[in-house]
Structure 1
Amino acid sequence: MMLPAALLLLGALTAVVAPRLLARADWADREPVLALWVWQCAVAAVLLCCALSMTLSAATAWQAVRGHVFAPAPNVVVEAYTLGTAEPWAAATAVALACGGAWSAAMLVREVVRARARRRLRRAELLVRAPLLPGEEAADSRLVVLEGERPDAWWLPSAAPRLVITTAALRRLKGRQLDALVAHEEGHAQARHDWLLHCSAALAGGFPQVPVFAAFRNEMHRLVELAADDMASRRFGRLTTALALVGLNEDRGVFGPCPTPQAHVPQRVHRLLAPPDRLTAARRLRLTAAAALVPVVPVLVAFVPGLRALG
């Protein structure tokens, strides 16, 4: 049975071609939210190819799995998949792909556990640096102000998310610049960017040799910042958002000649000050629809024998 092999080949082709096509796209920085959607669809297509190949391989190798997967299907459909002719590689393929799925789940669990541990540590640090006053409720406040010499702000995601900002940031950013900073961090929280970062980190950490997963992680870190910048700029203007970004990072050496971990900040500021033209609504719609169809392709490939039998 060649269908599981065809699905694996389709997944491998998507994993290799998708990062290259997206790297050549000239619209990703212009439409970061759309680029996030396209990346998610590409990764979902790769994972779906593996899941469908595993299911069909297991159905070929074991009668018990076959009975569950094809229980509601007519006999003509079961015969179209030639499941009775067990292949020697079917069981090995199913086990290998199942192990890969279990490893992916384990990596995601590890990433979430580590993120929660980091959040607990940061919350404990907050209690030390900003202890509750006598009579103050322990209920989480959405805003925490910390004494600090360096301008900084971050969103602490949880069931009761908090925006943490230092006094240095409050002194440096005034009026609408501070509002733009808050809007940027709220954009991360509203779009649940933390889950995108968790999933991309889990896949890249579990399968470092797969190019689509490594590129997915790298692009997520960049695109979520651009998307949050756009959310803030739509409310408070691009110049205000750019000035807030400069004020928050100018003491960190990110605008100097030497590379730093925040080397993407100057590009973000330049993008805000010289905004590229957005795509037309029609092209955005076409790209959105085309990306949504990518995960549908492996499903159609898996259903081809059954559809031919029924047709």
Structure 2
Amino acid sequence: MNVLPALLVLGLLLATVGPRLLARASWVEREPVLALWAWQCLVVAVLLCCGLSMLLTSTAAWPEIGRLLFLGAPRGVEAAYRLPYARPWAVAGTLLLAYGGVRTAQSLTAEVRSARALRRRRQRELTVRAPELPAGLGREPAARERLVVLESARPQAWSLPGPDARLVVTTGALHRLSDRELAAALAHERGHVRARHHWLMQCAEALNTGFPGARVFGLFRSQVGRLVELAADDSAARRHGRLATAIALVELNPDHSPTCPAPFAEVPRRVDRLLTGEPRLPVAVRLRLTATALVALGAPVVLAFAPGLRALL
């Protein structure tokens, strides 16, 4: 099989079969960090298939690109990648794939700008509601993380990621939570910040917005939103216990119900998961799943280099 159809078929399989397998897998709730890694490998593999296919069709559409790409390559390598397609088809395929790349870049840029604008607005609101002390008064805040206490009867705790990350908690939460439960709630939010979950959410949202009809990106967006919460729950539970983390989750979401819209509908399931306390997967199983994700990630690259390697042998 020619390398271009092989890449397209591989990309189609990864974009259709892969998401279904991951979404239905029973192990993801036991290993949310590993599941996040698997989703990222799957999505990057699909994008690699599209990008490498665009590169190959561009060499057939415009020979100058091919000569530049294979400049200095051993004899016979360029011929191994020559596509048996008429130039109009190659140009059409290149433009179609390039449109997908431009759409992805535009969506990601728009999402990053929107997230930054929202973060700046929330930072300004926090500054108004809880102004910082002048220099020299009080304890100096941590270099990359600040705890902000807001006056509000509603129990809440959240994080504001960024270069100057902030953990926000209300006085209602301080009154409702014990010291250990409060520490668990803050550890949950700190887990989001340290793992850069906001970057992952922005990428997932951008891909879903740019390609609303692609099931792989839609499932990626929904699954990432759930898995980052589970990963942060585990991060807090490891430090402060599952019971304290579950109680904090309930106290900070007093109006939760299975009929509430997402993500609030997930709260009862997250609490049950914490209280059940299922053990992690065995190390051998985790290694096997990690290797499978790496194989999916490396498959497009291996497939793209295969004709050149065969020409050298």
Partner of 2:302: 300
Deviations 1:124-164 (CA, angstroms, capped at 9, x unpaired): 11122112345578988611110111111111111111111
Partner of 1:79: 79
Cα root mean square deviation, aligned: 1.9
Q: What's the offset of the Cα at 1:24?
A: 2.2
Check whether the contact 1:193–1:224 (CA below 8 A) recurs between aligned residues: yes
Deviations 1:105-138 (CA, angstroms, capped at 9, x unpaired): 1100100100011011101111221123455789
The answer to whether residue 273 in structure 2 is matched with residue 265 in structure 1 is no
Partners of 2:2 and 2:206 in 1: CA distance: 30
Q: What's the offset of the Cα at 1:171?
A: 0.8
Deviations 1:230-286 (CA, angstroms, capped at 9, x unpaired): 011011110111011111111xx213x632331001100000000223210011011
Partner of 2:153: 149
Report the AA paired with residue 249 of structure 2. Answer: L
Q: What's the offset of the Cα at 1:6?
A: 2.5
Partners of 1:63 and 1:260 in 2: CA distance: 53
Deviations 1:16-61 (CA, angstroms, capped at 9, x unpaired): 1011111221100010000000000100110000000000000111
**Structure 1 residues 173, 147: CA separation in 2 closer, same or farther (over 3 Å shift)?**
same
Check whether the contact 2:153–2:171 (CA below 8 A) recurs between aligned residues: yes
The answer to whether residue 17 in structure 2 is matched with residue 11 in structure 1 is no
Partner of 1:229: 233
Check whether the contact 1:254–1:260 (CA below 8 A) recurs between aligned residues: no
**Structure 1 counterpart SS, 2:153:** coil
Partners of 2:203 and 2:209 in 1: CA distance: 10
Worse overlay, 216-225 or 270-279? 270-279
Partner of 2:195: 191
Partners of 2:36 and 2:80 in 1: CA distance: 38
Worse overlay, 124-133 or 52-61? 124-133
Worse overlay, 294-303 or 199-208? 294-303
Candidates 203, 214, 220, aligned match of 1:216: 220
Candidates 248, 252, 270, aligned match of 1:248: 252
Report the AA paired with residue 20 of structure 2. Answer: R
Partners of 1:212 and 1:114 in 2: CA distance: 23
**Structure 1 residues 305, 101: CA separation in 2 closer, same or farther (over 3 Å shift)?**
same
Aligned length: 308
Q: What's the offset of the Cα at 1:96?
A: 1.3
Check whether the contact 2:23–2:223 (CA below 8 A) recurs between aligned residues: no
**Structure 1 residues 136, 157: CA separation in 2 closer, same or farther (over 3 Å shift)?**
farther
Partners of 1:260 and 1:5 in 2: CA distance: 42
Candidates 280, 283, 290, aligned match of 2:282: 280
**Structure 1 counterpart SS, 2:281:** coil
Map 1:198-209 to 2 at 5 A.
198-209=202-213
**Structure 1 counterpart SS, 2:169:** strand
Check whether the contact 2:23–2:219 (CA below 8 A) recurs between aligned residues: no
Worse overlay, 280-289 or 131-140? 131-140
Deviations 1:168-222 (CA, angstroms, capped at 9, x unpaired): 0111111111111111111111111000000000000000111110000000000
Report the AA paired with residue 46 of structure 2. Answer: V
What is the TM-score with the length of structure 1 in the denominator? Answer: 0.94
Partner of 2:116: 116
Partner of 1:98: 98
**Structure 1 counterpart SS, 2:168:** strand
**Structure 2 counterpart SS, 1:142:** strand
Q: What's the offset of the Cα at 1:75?
A: 2.2
**Structure 1 counterpart SS, 2:88:** coil
Which residues of structure 2 form unaligned runs of 5+? none
**Structure 2 counterpart SS, 1:296:** helix
